[in-house]
Amino acid sequence: MTYLFAYDIVDTHRRQEVSKILERFGLRVQKSFFQCDVESSMAEEIKRTLLGIINEKEDSLVLYLLCSDCLHGARTQVTGGSC
């Protein structure tokens, strides 16, 4: 399954730690977006690990499950205008 992890983390140390973990499991598609092709149980384990790092009062973490239609329709580079 393909998941998109997105985050907004205030603290540089926490942000780097989260980034290093996600780099082990997926492809960085933007500075704070990673596409990870993992089983659902692994996605949950990654999420639990990341939630143990971030400060939920200051930071945000979002996990999206991407269906095959979403993946097929994904654009690799969109600049300006509408999608």
Per-residue pLDDT of the chain (83 residues; tens, 9 = 90+): 999 999 999 999 999 999 999 999 999 999 999 999 999 999 999 999 999 999 999 999 999 998 777 776 666 555 555 54
Q: Alpha-carbon distance 3 to 42, whole Å?
A: 10
- Which value, to the nearest 10 degrees, does the dihedral of the CA atoms of residues 15, 10, 60, 38 take? -10
pLDDT at 77: 54
pLDDT score at 68:
76
pLDDT at 71: 72
pTM: 0.81
Annotated domain spans of the chain: 2-69
Residue type, 4: L
What CATH number does domain 2-69 carry, 3.30.70.240, 3.40.50.2300, 3.30.1200.10, 3.40.50.150? 3.30.70.240
